[in-house]
Structure 1
């Protein structure tokens, strides 16, 4: 993969570049926002690791510029020491695919990169597939095997998020943020909506696909 690292902390920047290069990836780096934006807008990358607090122009502005002005579909993973819900919501609002809180393990960063790149590729195909479950994003048709499944709008949105991140675990907080934003009262509905979704996509089938990961969130995948 071609990866761009935009990070102003020299040690973190150098460690990320070295780690990714040692694993066979082509990596370029920038230590400030303006240089990072120029590289991101003028060259083709599979993924960008983007710090938020940068000199010149911050990561949120870079991400928004790439999505709105450059129409870039590159996978973007935010890096930040900020871990408040509002910070994550802002990152997702401007177009980030994922958000990693510092400090982080290098292996987790690489795993997240692989996941968001795979999701981007899946989105571009416009058909999500997990096991025998298929979701056509253009027609909104959901099928499992030969059976057409009927889903309400909230269930479809949950399913789309879970399938895009499959086989990864999606945290409750991320699902709540992506579905309901700051409407705190609505977040209490997540468990009941997961129950409804599970009843549609798993009930009557031999193997369940929607799994609860206690203390973390939910995972959509085929398990042996």
Structure 2
């Protein structure tokens, strides 16, 4: 999994980072709420470990911003020394998926993260994705844009599904290549060719291209950005 740790206690953050990395996970970390929010909305994570008592922006506010403003549904495991029922309920109300009291066992942290990820992956896999006039049904692999059916090859479907999972977010070329080809090393020309096929099919169906090229960074799904001449 790709895990984001947002924790201002450097000793706790280091222990979590080292343990999770030793278990084969990819880990990023932030030591304040502002930096954590930036990472959470600009990168794709499988789970977030979130401390409540953060400088800059507390964990409750950060969680609410992720859920309500950024519409990010990445599983969030809150870590805190606050152990009252009211504190736990407040965390859940802001969008947390689970709550763990400090001190905690590192193995329990990983077990909870894996359980959250498995549950979330099951929901996402069967959820119809919708953005603007574009929809994708993962059960039937059917795509509709501006009420028109869109036929795409499998790789293009995977690219589109990834971008539809977080509209507006810029996905790097590396992320898109990993999604479509997994561990196969593909050239940028291969990705570019598939993106061309995808964009052409969407433009043909809907009359415009909803995919924006962010030069030097990657691609993102946005509302009506190109009108063909």
Q: TM-score range by the shorter chain?
A: 0.5 to 0.7
Q: Structure 2: how far apart are the matches of 1:60 and 1:212?
A: 36
Match of 2:138 in 1: 137
Gaps of 5+ in 1: 33-38, 74-94, 96-119
Instruction: Say whether residues 1:219 and 2:220 are aligned partners.
Output: yes
Q: Secondary structure at the residue paired with 1:179? A: helix
Q: Structure 2: how far apart are the matches of 1:175 and 1:60?
A: 27
Gaps of 5+ in 2: 10-30, 33-50, 68-75, 82-87, 99-103
Q: Structure 2: how far apart are the matches of 1:136 and 1:212?
A: 25
| TM-score, scaled relative to structure 2 | 0.53
Match of 1:146 in 2: 147
Match of 1:167 in 2: 168
Q: Secondary structure at the residue paired with 1:189? A: helix
**Compared with structure 1, are the counterparts of its residues 138 and 16 closer, same or farther at alpha carbon in structure 2 (3 Å cutoff)?**
farther
Q: Is the 8 A contact 2:214 2:220 kept in 1?
A: yes
**Compared with structure 1, are the counterparts of its residues 58 and 201 closer, same or farther at alpha carbon in structure 2 (3 Å cutoff)?**
farther
Q: Structure 2: how far apart are the matches of 1:67 and 1:24?
A: 17
Give me the CA root mean square deviation.
4.2
Match of 1:197 in 2: 198
**Compared with structure 1, are the counterparts of its residues 60 and 213 closer, same or farther at alpha carbon in structure 2 (3 Å cutoff)?**
farther
Q: Secondary structure at the residue paired with 1:183? A: coil
**Compared with structure 1, are the counterparts of its residues 141 and 18 closer, same or farther at alpha carbon in structure 2 (3 Å cutoff)?**
same
Match of 1:30 among 63, 79, 82: 79
Instruction: Say whether residues 1:56 and 2:106 are aligned partners.
Output: yes
Deviation at 1:24, TM superposition (A): 8.4
Q: Structure 1: how far apart are the matches of 2:125 and 2:217?
A: 28
Deviation at 1:167, TM superposition (A): 1.9
Q: Structure 2: how far apart are the matches of 1:198 and 1:28?
A: 37
Q: Is the 8 A contact 2:63 2:94 kept in 1?
A: no
Q: Structure 1: how far apart are the matches of 2:163 and 2:140?
A: 18
Q: Structure 1: how far apart are the matches of 2:62 and 2:94?
A: 16
Deviation at 1:207, TM superposition (A): 2.8
Q: Structure 1: how far apart are the matches of 2:56 and 2:126?
A: 30
Task: Give the number of equivalent residue pairs.
Answer: 159
Q: Structure 1: how far apart are the matches of 2:80 and 2:62?
A: 22
Match of 1:209 in 2: 210
Match of 2:46 in 1: none
1:17-96 correspondence runs (5 A): 18-22=57-61, 25=64, 29-30=78-79, 46-47=95-96, 56-57=106-107, 62-68=112-118, 72-73=119-120
Compare CA radii of gyration and give the structure with the larger one. 2
Q: Deviations over 1:81-110 (max 9, x none)?
A: xxxxxxxxxxxxxx6xxxxxxxxxxxxxxx
Q: Structure 2: how far apart are the matches of 1:195 and 1:60?
A: 40
Q: Is the 8 A contact 1:6 1:48 kept in 2?
A: no
Deviation at 1:181, TM superposition (A): 2.5
Q: Structure 2: how far apart are the matches of 1:219 and 1:24?
A: 23
